Amino acid sequence: MSIALTAAQSRFLRGQAHGLKAILQVGGKGLTGAVVTEVDGALEHHELIKVKVAAGDREARDAMVADLAARCGAALVQRIGNVAVLYRPSRDKRQIVLPRP
């Protein structure tokens, strides 16, 4: 299950993520179960997070980010260089109110 965002919602989330620091880093071991679990927990708590992805080339980095978003059920808001912004609304308490589509 992935989330589809409108252009206005993506723009809003990019603005919200601007001041955030990357809270997780995916290293050379790639996407382990522990990394996916950690990202899942961070998304549940924060809804909008930045993740640093250390991969050799752009294609590998893009594939890793897409796989991470799919496995966590999150939307990829933006990717600049090796930093990706992911969004998924919290199941328990929603903090971010998106603009209407």
Cα separation of 63 and 48, whole Å? 20
Dist CA 37 CA 57 (whole Å): 25
pLDDT (tens digit, 9 = 90+) per residue, 40-94?
A: 999 999 999 999 998 778 898 999 999 999 999 999 999 999 999 999 998 888 8
Q: How far apart are the first and last CA of the chain?
A: 19
What pTM does this model have?
A: 0.91
> How far is the C-alpha of 79 from the C-alpha of 94, rounded, in Å?
23
